[in-house]
Amino acid sequence: MRVKFIEPELGNTFFHRLDARTKLIMLLCIAIINIALYHWTTIACGYVLVLAFVVGARLSWDKTKALIVITFLTIWGIMWVQAMFYDAYPRTPLVYLVPPKLVNPSAPVIGGLWEGLAIYYEGFTYGIKQSLRLVTPMTLGLLIFWTENPMKILVGLTKLKLPYVISFMVMTCLRFIPITIGEARVIVSSQKLRKYNPFEIKGIVLGYGLFKTTLAVMLPLLANCVRKSTTMARSADSRAFRAYDERTEMYDNKLRVTDKVLIGVFVLTTTFILVGKLLFYLWVGNIYYNEALQPLYWFVHWYL
């Protein structure tokens, strides 16, 4: 079964023309930067940069719609969870769902609700920060997979000195995604043909519908995945997989000037942020201080 959501779209845009190694290095740098940054506004700037690449890649409406849904659900879910269960201080309640002192603190299980259950402003901002840290590399990763030939990604991984066996396993996992989605769609369709409505509103609200659907889908899905992976492993072994340390390559990718410039910008930016944060924390911990670095301390404190 063809799954348009996961099939790559080869084009001639700026992002399409980038080498696979450039895209992978960008993804690694974005992931490291998001971990190192503290201010959610700066993380949001990185996300806007990734969105600029998405717009420039001119993806189909199906992929754009899927990306919007995934991003919205991820950000919205994490924001609400953090806003309701934020336990750090200070915190500013916006709306109380359970008023304070309504529950006896000595009551079992629910005694912790003595302070009330509220939606906190600091929880919202913290949720935005955490969701952007997750969504930004996820969006760039999907964009890479949607705009690059899988074989070129495999060659790019090997060019980055990643062992061929590991590179092949990574690409195999990625290629199994459309197969798994297709199998799940077949299973759900077969359930509907048997007059079972797996997405009934009442079942979703009460929870038992999703539970029954998950159980009904997972068993045949896992069985099919095991069968297909066994077939693929036998096929790879029959073609002398891992028989030689070096493999021949169909694509001989060479870095262009644009690729080298982008790699340099991302690597230097990542290095600057990591070094700046390290020097800042050394100053905060009274381990190392240099008066000449005061502008750097100020910049890291307010923007990084």
How does pLDDT run across 231-259, given as a tens digit for each residue? 877 887 777 666 666 666 666 667 888 88
Share of the chain above pLDDT 70, in %: 79
pLDDT at 119 over 90: no
CA–CA distance from 14 to each of 64, 140, 157, 193 (Å)? 18, 14, 21, 45
pLDDT of residue 1: 43
**Residue with the larger pLDDT of the pair 251 and 23:** 23
Structure tokens at 77: 């879910």
Q: Could you report the per-residue pLDDT of 257-266, keeping only the tens digit for each?
A: 888 899 999 9
pLDDT at 114 over 60: no
Q: What number of CA atoms fall less than 13 Å from residue 212's CA on the CB side?
A: 13
In angstroms, the CA 100 to CA 117 distance is 7
Residue 212: CB partners within 8 Å, gap ≥ 6?
198, 203
pLDDT of residue 200: 64
pLDDT of residue 154: 76
Among candidates 136, 167, 137, 169, which has minimal Cα distance to 152? 167
**Residue with the larger pLDDT of the pair 149 and 204:** 149
* Mean pLDDT, rounded, for 279-296: 88
Among candidates 197, 243, 244, 236, which has minimal Cα distance to 216? 197
pLDDT at 3 over 60: no
Q: What number of CA atoms fall less than 13 Å from residue 176's CA on the CB side?
A: 18
| 4: confidence class by pLDDT, cuts 50, 70, 90 | low
> Domains of the chain: which residue ranges?
1-161+261-271+281-304, 163-243
pLDDT of residue 202: 60
